[in-house]
Structure 1
Amino acid sequence: MNRIGLDYAWILILTTTGLSTGLMGFTPANYPINDSALTPVSESTSIHVPEVSAPLLMAQTGRGRPVARRGGAGHGSCELGGQTNELLTSIVPRFSGEGLTVASQPMFWVYVPYSLSDSQSMQFLLKDATGSLIYQFTPTETAMLPGVIGIPLPSSVTLSENQEYLWTFTVTCGEMKLTVEGAVTRIALSPALETALQAATTPQERATVYRNSGLWLDALTVLAEQQRAQPNDAATASAWTDLLNQIQLGDVASKPIR
């Protein structure tokens, strides 16, 4: 083979080796896919679905969106005659899909850390998933604050099953408005749950049945009403604290229930 042929062979070998090395270095880890650039495809299209971690999958499907449970951070305070570092708080689970109830007229719970004057106001709004107003209520008993308050629904307002409702609670102090929110979905009372509730002999046991069934709002109401009726009952206080700790609102557990 003459020199020109040898040079050509070496060029071919080096080119092939370089190309192979380059392809080996081109991996998904080095060049991650931008999920936001993906577009929907039809059901008949064959695609590869990447694995998703369990917590992310639950948050997107079963648990719903995060709920804005705290109001007032970085926006001052409504405290009359002073300041407080505590925040207006809706006592609900962290995600909208966890706000389940079997009650047609559930109770809604809010912690108001302020002593309000008559010139300051509170407002509760309940809307359906389309944004239509279902119920509006303006609490006026500001003398009982600060504390945890329960907002009931009147007999004329009932929740339909398997429909999500959104609610907000707003405290207005002059030009400043502090708002928290919650979500609630009523589901049917199953025969098994009804039997378990009938077998429960104490409020703590009823709350446990509700909690084990994922009915956080019903568990909250049972314990809050019992804690309000018997504030010195150690068993109720312990169950109330444990429940609030599980939804990351343990700082509210020691507050008075009005």
Structure 2
Amino acid sequence: MFSKKTQLKKISTILSLMFLVISANSYPQQVMAQSSKGREGLPGRRVGGGTRGECSFGDKKLIALIPESNLLLTTSPKPNLFIYLPPTATPKTLEFVLQDEQENIMYEKSFTTNKYPGIVSMSLLDQSSLPQLAVGKKYRWFFSMICNPDKRENDISVDGWISRVKLEPNIAQQLESATSTEQVNIYANLGIWQDALVKLATLRHQNPRDPQLTAKWLQVLQALKLEVIAQEGIVDANLNEISSAVR
């Protein structure tokens, strides 16, 4: 027989467990959602796989300048992406594909690289027939370096998602009155990395010798955990278009 003291202890333990279960089930959903914010990710790859026989990079890799979640936020209806291209012994063909949420191909484009390394901008702005990205929708993109056209399984690829967001009126007002560098900070603090990168890359292109902008670029890439390419140059003439198509 259990003593009265032991029975009371068991009852107390059971009641405590019941309280924990009830509390967990009644915990506000918005609080639970906030606690998991930032941990969710989407399938993708922001760093290309290892070196292939026809694509020898040494210790470099193909890298997309996107967050670890693989989801890039933007306010632009026709954004651009930043990709780091490693050096190659010979020029290579590159392929970019954009899909909607139903996996329909909206746009595809092929380029050649001049074999020199650098961070390039993949812009959709010059495609007048390409529909604007809808607010709140997610679009998947793929960027591949074709190492051997006869063995596409050997491609070095990165892929991820991009989604257009709408700014709250008070944020839009803040941006209007902010300086260019303050705008970079606002976008970065909101996690709208595409706009932060575009704004900062534009400033660096206009002022290539500004040490403060160089430091800010390093800070932004460190926040994205991409400091490995922070010292690489941003180039705007590294791609030559072969063909493009809007579906």
Q: How does 1:30-109 map to 2 (within 5 A)?
A: 49=25, 57-59=36-38, 63-65=40-42, 67-73=44-50, 75=52, 78-79=55-56, 83-97=57-71, 99-109=72-82
Q: How does 1:160-199 map to 2 (within 5 A)?
A: 160-174=134-148, 175=151, 176-199=154-177
Matched residue type, 1:225: T
Give how far 1:57 is off.
Answer: 2.4
Give how far 1:226 is off.
Answer: 2.1
Give how far 1:144 is off.
Answer: 6.6
The answer to whether the 8 Å contact 2:87/2:115 transfers is no
- Distance in 2 of aligned mates of 1:172 and 1:185: 26
- Distance in 1 of aligned mates of 2:205 and 2:141: 23
- Alpha-carbon spacing, 1:144–1:231, altered in 2? closer, same or farther (3 Å): farther
Give how far 1:116 is off.
Answer: 5.7
- Distance in 2 of aligned mates of 1:172 and 1:92: 21
Give how far 1:101 is off.
Answer: 0.9
The answer to whether the aligner puts 1:133 opposite 2:105 as a matched pair is: yes
Higher RCO (CA 8 Å, separation ≥ 6 residues): 2
SS of 1:219's partner is helix
Q: TM-score, normalised by structure 1?
A: 0.71
Higher strand fraction (1 or 2): 2
- Distance in 1 of aligned mates of 2:35 and 2:147: 38
Counting matched residue pairs gives 213
Structure with larger Rg? 1
Give how far 1:236 is off.
Answer: 1.2
- Distance in 1 of aligned mates of 2:109 and 2:83: 14
SS of 2:36's partner is helix
Equivalent residue in structure 1 for 2:118, among 134, 142, 147: 147
Give how far 1:134 is off.
Answer: 1.1
- Alpha-carbon spacing, 1:125–1:56, altered in 2? closer, same or farther (3 Å): farther
- Provide, for residues 67-118 of structure 1, a one-character-per-residue CA deviation record: whole Å limited to 9, x for no partner: 4111123656713xxx411110010011144x21111111111001123634
- Distance in 2 of aligned mates of 1:241 and 1:109: 15
Equivalent residue in structure 2 for 1:244, among 216, 221, 227: 221
Give the structure 1 partner of residue 17 of structure 2. Answer: none
Give the percent of matched residue pairs that are identical in Structure 1 and Structure 2.
28
RMSD after superposition = 3.1
- Distance in 1 of aligned mates of 2:224 and 2:159: 15
- Distance in 1 of aligned mates of 2:36 and 2:85: 34
- Distance in 2 of aligned mates of 1:122 and 1:151: 11
